[in-house]
């Protein structure tokens, strides 16, 4: 393929490996209130500092998130693309902890079972992931990376904020891992870098391009917290 000079320019993070490129693109999509050091977007209309979360909304967020995590578990177990098998038993899986937390919240705050609609944010995301996993591995891996890594970064900040505001500081299992989660992230980074080594520059760019869609689908879930 012929490359224009612009195509030859090194992408930010490229020297450190492909995951570093993914991280760079993701950090630029954060708003400044979300990530003051690296966020590249103007402050969000509803910055975390001004959140007014509700029990019902947060429970719905957990339940809709569980739909997505269950789907990710299924996709990885099936490994329709053999490289997905590298993501089996990463230690980052969240379905079981969520099951526990959902039950705990319902009991503690006398809440009804959350209703999961076919066209709700959880199933909307799940359907997208099932299709992408089969048809477009770079797109799927973009979502896989952003969803799990966002949870260990901003997700944990959100968790402790919500907990101090409306959960009497309870430490949900959603935010707890079997030991230190950092080595789990490191292993997943290595796996993604290995997989991406076989990708063309076009496939890599296609994966990076998908980051904004991954933000928009995740934000659909996060919005439930204040519903
Ligand atoms: C990293 C905050 C939403 C994807 C980070 C970091 C912060 C942050 C502070 C830097 C962590 C560090 O390097 O020490 C937030 C907040 C959010 C939010 C407050 C919403 C209220 C999202 C969303 C996505 C996302 C929606 C994508 C679906 C990522 C990724 C990283 C990151 C991929 C890099 C993690 C790593 O390198 O380990 N976030 N974020 N974040 N965030 Fe978010």
From the list 23, 67, 34, the residue with the least C-alpha distance to 188 is 23
Residue 2 domain-assigned (yes or no): no
What is the rounded average pLDDT of the residues 22-51? Answer: 91
Closest residue (by CA) to atom 28 of ligand 1? 215
Residue 195 domain-assigned (yes or no): yes
Residue 129 domain-assigned (yes or no): yes
Whether 225 has a pLDDT exceeding 50, the answer reads yes
pLDDT for the residue 1: 46
Q: Looking at ligand 1, which atom is closest to the CA of residue 214? A: 28
Domain that residue 87 falls in = 58-226
Residue 91 domain-assigned (yes or no): yes
What's the Cα-to-Cα distance from 116 to each of 61, 108, 121, 124, 216, rounded to whole Å? 10, 20, 9, 11, 19
What is the rounded average pLDDT of the residues 23-42? Answer: 95
Residue 50 domain-assigned (yes or no): no
Whether the predicted model's global pTM rises above the 0.90 cut: yes
Closest residue (by CA) to atom 26 of ligand 1? 215
Q: How far is the CA of 214 from the centre of ligand 1 (A)?
A: 12
Q: How far apart are CA 121 and CA 119, in angstroms?
A: 7
Residue 39 domain-assigned (yes or no): no
Backbone angles phi, psi at 38, to 5 degrees: -115, -10
Contact 163, 172 (CB under 8 A): yes
Q: Using alpha carbons only, what angle is made at residue 16 by residues 31 and 144, rounded to the nearest 5 degrees?
A: 55
Q: Which residues contact 156 (CB under 8 A, 6 or more apart)?
A: 175
Closest residue (by CA) to atom 16 of ligand 1? 154
158 within ligand 1 shell (Cβ under 6 A): yes
pLDDT bracket for residue 139 (50, 70, 90): very high
CATH at residue 165: 1.20.910.10
Q: Looking at ligand 1, which atom is closest to the CA of residue 19? A: 37
Q: How far is the CA of 181 from the centre of ligand 1 (A)?
A: 15
Q: How far is the CA of 160 from the centre of ligand 1 (A)?
A: 15
Q: Using alpha carbons only, what angle is made at residue 118 by residues 113 and 121, rounded to the nearest 5 degrees?
A: 80
Q: Looking at ligand 1, which atom is closest to the CA of residue 185? A: 38
Backbone angles phi, psi at 31, to 5 degrees: -80, 160
Higher local confidence (pLDDT), 47 or 102:
102
Q: How far is the CA of 57 from the centre of ligand 1 (A)?
A: 21
ipTM of the complex: 0.95
Residue 157 domain-assigned (yes or no): yes
pLDDT digit string, tens, across residues 63-77: 999 999 999 999 999
Total of domains in the chain: 1
143 within ligand 1 shell (Cβ under 6 A): no
Residue 29 domain-assigned (yes or no): no
With the most atoms of ligand 1 within 8 angstroms of its CB, the residue from 22, 30, 143 to mutate is 30
């Amino acid at each position: 393929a012929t490359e224009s000079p612009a195509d030859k320019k090194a992408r930010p993070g490229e020297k450190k490996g492909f995951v570093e490129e993914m991280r760079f693109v993701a950090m630029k999509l954060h708003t400044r209130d979300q990530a003051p050091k690296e966020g590249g977007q103007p402050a969000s209309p509803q910055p975390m500092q001004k959140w007014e979360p509700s029990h019902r909304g947060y429970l719905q967020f957990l339940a809709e998130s569980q739909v997505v995590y269950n789907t990710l578990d299924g996709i990885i177990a099936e490994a329709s693309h053999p490289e997905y098998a590298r993501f089996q038993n990463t230690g980052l899986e969240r379905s079981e902890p969520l099951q526990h937390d959902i039950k705990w919240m319902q009991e503690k705050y006398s809440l009804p079972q959350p209703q999961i609609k076919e066209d709700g944010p959880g199933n909307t995301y799940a359907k997208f992931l099932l299709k992408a996993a089969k048809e477009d591995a770079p797109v799927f891996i973009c979502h896989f990376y952003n969803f799990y890594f966002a949870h260990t970064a901003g997700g944990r900040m959100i968790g402790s904020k919500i907990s101090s505001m409306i959960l009497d500081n309870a430490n949900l299992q959603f935010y707890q891992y079997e030991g230190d989660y950092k080595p789990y992230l490191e292993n997943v980074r290595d796996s993604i870098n290995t997989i991406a080594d076989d990708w063309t520059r076009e496939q890599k760019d296609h994966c990076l391009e998908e980051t904004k869609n991954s933000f928009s689908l995740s934000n659909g879930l996060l919005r439930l917290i204040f519903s």
